[in-house]
Structure formats: structure tokens, C-alpha cells
Structure 1
Amino acid sequence: MATRGPRRTAGHGVLLDPEVIAEMRAHLPDVADRTVAAITEEVPSYQDALSGSMGEIIRNAVQLALGGFLSLAGGRRGADPGTPAAPSVEGAYQLGRGEARNGRTTDALLSAYRIGARVAWREMSATAVRSGIPADRLAGFAELVFAYIDELSAASVAGHTDELATSGRVRERLLERLAKDLLDGASTDEVVEAAARAEWPEPKTLTAVIVPEAQARRVRGSLPGVVLQAVDRSDIPDRALLLVPDAHGRERAGLLAALGRGCIAGPPRPWLQVRASYDRALRAHESGLTGDTELHLTQLVLTADPEALADLRARALAPLADLRPAVAEKLTDTLRSWLFHHGRREDVAAELFVHPQTVRYRMNQLRDLYGDRLDDPETVLELTIALSA
């Protein structure tokens, strides 16, 4: 069965005589008061909103809507948008926008419209009946009441939707600007001001997370709080950068659980210092690492300066430089194992699948090459770092 669309007021002829319209207009203030009172009583969320100056604004809006309706009932509306009912529809549209700005849904507003239709029909139909309106016109009058409410309701819903879309886009741009300021080294005052403009609550920490573009929406939606997303990052093509608030301590487990394949999470940092979290996540990403950067600290430290590491390795292994490549490789493997196993010959032999005597022989060769330096802590540290990469 087809779904019925909103009832329309177009096409209705003259339903009420001018004298009846004039009598109804004379009672509009009283009808508006009773309508507002009914709404206040039956829609709890409007009990406070309709008090004081706001109540007067709504009361005037009700009178405007009822006046527009009476213009329709008198047959004064045409196709021209400047006809008497147009201000009522525009008022309903703006009312919907106002409800969105106040953080309310359309549920209460649509309930108010239904109550208003009921009160208006009760009051106006009584006047129509007293004036002797024929039954067929009374039926048409009832249809017009509810068609008119349909149009006002639709206008308010459209206004509510448009306001949410507009404010949502504006806030999203403000949040993107905030992320840019955080990453590009803006001053503390500039960043704090940007956060205030975006109505973004300042967290204790932020964690930079690099995710594949295809996963960004899912990851962002699965995390609590307002997650910032930096856009147009040329240093991570085909990747999205998220800045996740307060994902430290016990909350980090929830963040890591939300990540999929190919994601990398930097460390939590005080929110104004999130650039440090991003720098680490970026280096991990460039090194082909994924997951939690806290699990890759050793590798990140060792690869922080590749040229310095290469120079250190060349200097530390200089005594082996003149050996045949095969011999140098065996001695290097033995030296690495000897360092990592703290000189335990049996463990070294087990790792290298050789006899302990072979380990002794090779270590004697290494001592001939290095001399007393193998007992020097600074040399041992350099060799350990050089052979760890």
C-alpha cells in the first residue's frame, strides 16, 4: 500500500464567510492563550521554554499561524509565495531551526502541533457551527485544519534538518581547524580559542592514530568523545589521522581494540602536545609498523637516526672489516649472541647450533681483534646497539 504524503492546503476554495472569519479573528488571542496552555500542560519539555519572554514569542507565533489559517479558510491563498499563509510557513521553518539550535529534537514540536490543531479545531469549529455552516463545509474546514498543520509540521522538520546540517558542517570545519592548529604549532592561546569556537571540551590527553582511509569513519564512530580528524595530510597519503581524547591509562585498551589492520596508535600526550604523539606514530608508520607504538619502542629508538646508527655500526665493527666476508659474518653472529646471552657459552652454542668449543674458539678470535675493549662498558654498549638493528 502506498504511503500517504502530507496533506496539502492548495485547492481549497472559500470555506467560511467573511463574517465568520472576522469573528474567529477577534478571538485569536484567546485561542492562542488556550493553545499555549495546553501545550505547556501536555508537553513536559515546553514547560520552561514557554515561560517569560519565550512564552510571549511562541504565543505570537501561534497567533500568526492561526491568522494564516484563517486567510486560507477565507480563500485568500494562491500560488504566489507572498500570500498570507507564507509568513506562517516561514515562521514554522524558523521555529524548527530554533529547536535544533536549542538541542531539542522535533518530537516535542510535532506534539505541540498536534495539540495546537486539536485546540484550534475545537475552538474554531464551535464558532463555525454557531454561524450555521453547512455539514459539507464543516468537513472541508476540518480537513483544512489538519492539512495546514501538516504543512507547518513539514516546514519545521525541514528547518530543523537544515539547521543541523548547517551547524554540523560549520562545527566540523572548526574541529578540522583545531586539529590543524594542534599539529602545525599554533600558540597555546590560538589553540585554546579554536577549541572554544568549536565547543570542543578540552581533554587531559590526545592520542594520534593513523588509520587507512577506509577505516576512518568506523574507528571514529566507535570511540567515545569528540574525535578530531586532521585532513589533507600529505605526509600520510591514503591514510587518515585521528586525534583521540583521553585514551590513556585503562582507556587505551578500548582504543586499541577499536583499531583494525594497518592502524598505528601513538602514545597519549597532554592535549596541547599531541604533535609529539603524531611524530612517533608517523615514524612507526614509515617503518612499516602497526598496532601500538608502545610495543615498538626499542625499534623506534634504534631507527630514530638511521645515519647515526650506520656510523655507529661501522665504528663498532671496524675490527672485523678486513676479514673475509664469511668469517666476519660468523664472528658477528657469535658476538651478537655472546652479548645478548651475557657470555653464557652454552646458550650461545644452542642459539647458533654449534659446539661450545666452537664458541670458545670464535670468542678467542674476537678478543684478539678487540683486545680489552670487550670488557669496556662503553664498547659493549656500542656493540649491543649496533648489533640490535
Structure 2
Amino acid sequence: MVTRPVRPTTQIQTVVGLDPNVAAALRSHLAEVADTAVLTIVEEVPSYAGAWSGRMGEVIRNAVQLALGGFLTLATRQDAEAPPKAPAIEGAYQLGRGEARSGRTVEALLAAYRIGARASWRDMSGVAVEAGVDSGQLARFAELVFAYIDELSAASVAGHTDELESSGRVRQRNLERLARALLTGAPADAVAAAAERADWTAPATLTALVLPESQVSHALTALDPRTLQPSDDVPGLPEGHASLLVPGTGSATSRRTLLRALRGTDAVVGPGVPWLDAAASYRRALRCSDLGIEGLVDSDEHLASLVLTADASARDDLRARVLAPLADLRPSTAEKLTDTLRSWLLHHGRRDAVAEELFVHAQTVRYRVGQLREIYGDRLEDPAFVLDATLALA
């Protein structure tokens, strides 16, 4: 495969000129700093959790150590015109290509750079201070760290882009088509064929998310790299919103993990369903978003509301039928008796609980329930009426 030449996007002019003793101390801690950076990335960027085993894990470890080694070479130079360490730039470029082939987004890659830079700077600055670096050198050292990270991350983004523009572009388009087929409930054989074309291994379950478009990039950095996102408009999506299909969350444990990963977003999380039934999860998430609840919303926690709002006009008709015997009363009296009936049903006739909820005396509750018995008669003991009234007034 032909790749374009990798050149630095900026020329790093900062000269630190580290004292040889400081440089030696830093070099002796190089492997430890690299390992800490890797572990921090794993902890803070969930899409990298499974990336450290096998060949790709070795590539990433080598890239981190190569980058840190190249940085120390820059930090000890005395000549401002000396070029950045070419092998580190090339390594960053190849890392970007590999991340694209692994299905990770450029947002996740840049998040890994930011977090790795922060962890590396914390450890290296501590070692440098212990080795006696002066304040002027420490300031230039910090400037060089962030200029160097900009250089490496730009090279990785270039590699990621090149890979997608070549072998990755077709697969990405196939993944987007697969997502749309799932969300629109296409026939199972068509969906299976789309998954095969996209070289996508189906998980046991999928969970649909509905969230603002502005939060998609942030969410993707925390989600499984196999997460699907349609590029075309999907029926039913509110304007300015997007949908994602996240593998897994069929168990309570994995669902809690997903909800933790989405903290800080306004995502509505549908149920985990068999992967071919993803459209059902999407429909549930859409209906839950219509409830108008703010913040991160777990649809599993709002099932009763979803049932009660499934057919709004039918519920209005049911409420009107249940409350018809109160229609001839004064509005204020009808309202008080409606509140009492609702509380009496939900508290199974426990007078003290009803009084506490309505902030009235227990004798007042007794009087109102007596009025209700006069109006409704034996229907208050009829299980069918009790069910209708509970649904209508809940």
C-alpha cells in the first residue's frame, strides 16, 4: 500500500537543553512512565480497554516508548534547528492507521493522546524536579511536551485519515448501512447480509441510544468500538439528535457499565435486545425521549410511564369514564375527591398513608372516602373498576 510521506505539521523550536544528569534520570524511568501512561489510558478511555493484548497491544506499547524516547532526544538537544525525531513521527502515523483498522474513532485516539500526555508529564516532571531541574528549564520542558504531543497526534490523525480514505472508507459505509437496516427493522436475512459485507461480528444483544448530535463524539470515546451509527436520516429521530447501537448491555452488570460511561450526556438508553431486534430498542428509546426527562435517562426505570403514555387518547377516554360520576359536582369538590380516590387506590385504602400524602386529617380522608362510596357504590370493590381507575389516575 502506498502512503504519503510523513512530515511534521509544525517545527518544534523550543530548546530545553536538559542537564545530562536530569536526562539520565528521566531515561532510567522511561519504561515506568510509558507503562503508567498506558494504564491511565485504559482506565479513562473505555474503548481501549481490550486493546492491550495481542499484536495491536505490542504496537501501541512500542509507539508510546518510541514517542517518549524521541521526546527525550528533543529535550536534550542544544540546536533549535534540529528536526523532530523522525521514527517517533512515523510510529505515530502507523499507530493512527492501525487504530482506524481496529475500528476506533479519531476522537478516541485523540482522547488517548491527551490522557497519555497528562500522565507522562506528571511523572516526568516529578522525576526532573527530583533530579534538580531549574524552574526555567521546567517551563520550557512543559512547552516542549505539549508541542511534541501536538506533532504526534497530528501524525496519528493523518494516518487514521489515510487508512479510512483507502481500505476503511468502504467498510465504514457498509457499517452505516448496517446500522440503518437494524434501526428500520429490515428483514433478518438482509441485515445478516449487511453485517457480512461490513465484516462486523454480531454481538448477542444491542442497545439503542438517542442523544443530541453535539454529544455523539464524546459518547463514542467511551463506548465499545463496535458501536454502530447510521449516517443517513433515520425515521422518527428528533431534529438535532442521533442514534447509536451499542453492543451488549443484555445483563444488569453491563448496563450499569454503559450508564456510567454515558454520565454527563443527555442520552436516552433503550433496552438491551437480541441484535436482530435492535429496532425495538430504538423505538423504546424514542418513546422514552418523548417523556421530556432531562439528563441521562434509563428507559428501564420508566416502564410504567411508557405503558401509561402508549396511547394518550385512550388514557384520556379512560380517565373521563372513571371520573364521569363526579362531573356534576363543583370543580373544587371534584378535584379533592379525585385526589382522594387516586391516593386511596395507590395506598390500598390505608387511611393514615392517604392523609399523610394529601396533608389532611385522617377524619377528612374518612369523610371523603364516604362520599366516594356514595357516588361509586359497589364499583369501588370491583377489581375491573379498580384497575381502570388506577391506570387512569396514576
Residue 164 (structure 1) shift? 4.1
Question: Where in structure 2 are there 5+ consecutive unaligned residues?
Answer: 1-9, 14-54, 56-93, 103-157
Residue 317 (structure 1) shift? 0.9
Q: 2 CA distance for matches of 1:350 and 1:222?
A: 45
Once the two structures are superposed, what CA deviation does each residue of 1:1-38 show, in whole Å capped at 9, x if it has no partner? 9579xxxxxxxxxxxxxxxxxxxxxxxxxxxxxxxxxx
Once the two structures are superposed, what CA deviation does each residue of 1:222-269 show, in whole Å capped at 9, x if it has no partner? 112410012323532111100001122111111111223321000000
Counterpart check, 1:271 vs 2:275:
yes
TM-score normalised according to structure 1 size? 0.58
Comparing 270-279 with 249-258, greater Cα deviation is found at 249-258
Aligned to 1:256: 259
Amino acid at match of 2:181: D
For the 8 Å contact 2:185–2:278, the answer to whether it is kept is no
Q: 1:281 aligns with which of 281, 285, 291?
A: 285
Q: 2 CA distance for matches of 1:159 and 1:214?
A: 25
Amino acid at match of 1:194: A
Partner SS for 2:229:
strand
Q: 2 CA distance for matches of 1:161 and 1:281?
A: 33
Aligned to 1:321: 327
Aligned to 1:245: 247
Aligned to 1:211: 211
Q: 1 CA distance for matches of 2:347 and 2:160?
A: 70
How do residues 20-35 of structure 1 correspond to structure 2 at under 5 angstroms?
Answer: none
For the 8 Å contact 1:225–1:245, the answer to whether it is kept is no
Aligned to 2:346: 340
Partner SS for 1:229:
coil
The structure whose RCO (Cα within 8 Å, separation 6+) is larger is 2
Residue 301 (structure 1) shift? 0.6
TM-score normalised according to structure 2 size? 0.57
Once the two structures are superposed, what CA deviation does each residue of 1:335-370 show, in whole Å capped at 9, x if it has no partner? 111111111112212222222221111111111110
Residue 160 (structure 1) shift? 9.5
For the 8 Å contact 1:266–1:278, the answer to whether it is kept is yes
For the 8 Å contact 2:207–2:246, the answer to whether it is kept is yes
**RMSD of aligned Cα (Å):** 2.7
Residue 185 (structure 1) shift? 2.6
Q: 2 CA distance for matches of 1:185 and 1:345?
A: 50
Amino acid at match of 1:243: L
How do residues 221-232 of structure 1 correspond to structure 2 at under 5 angstroms?
Answer: 221-231=221-231, 232=233
Aligned to 1:9: none
Q: 2 CA distance for matches of 1:160 and 1:205?
A: 29
Comparing 199-208 with 217-226, greater Cα deviation is found at 217-226
Aligned to 2:307: 301
Counterpart check, 1:181 vs 2:185:
no
Residues 298/309 of structure 1: CA separation in 2 closer, same or farther (3 Å cut): same
For the 8 Å contact 2:185–2:277, the answer to whether it is kept is no
| Identity level (%) | 56
For the 8 Å contact 1:345–1:356, the answer to whether it is kept is yes
Aligned to 2:166: 166
Aligned residues: 243
Residues 356/188 of structure 1: CA separation in 2 closer, same or farther (3 Å cut): same
Q: 1 CA distance for matches of 2:217 and 2:166?
A: 20
Question: Where in structure 1 are there 5+ consecutive unaligned residues?
Answer: 5-44, 46-95, 105-157
Residues 350/194 of structure 1: CA separation in 2 closer, same or farther (3 Å cut): same
Q: 2 CA distance for matches of 1:334 and 1:159?
A: 68
Once the two structures are superposed, what CA deviation does each residue of 1:89-135 show, in whole Å capped at 9, x if it has no partner? xxxxxxx9xx98xx79xxxxxxxxxxxxxxxxxxxxxxxxxxxxxxx
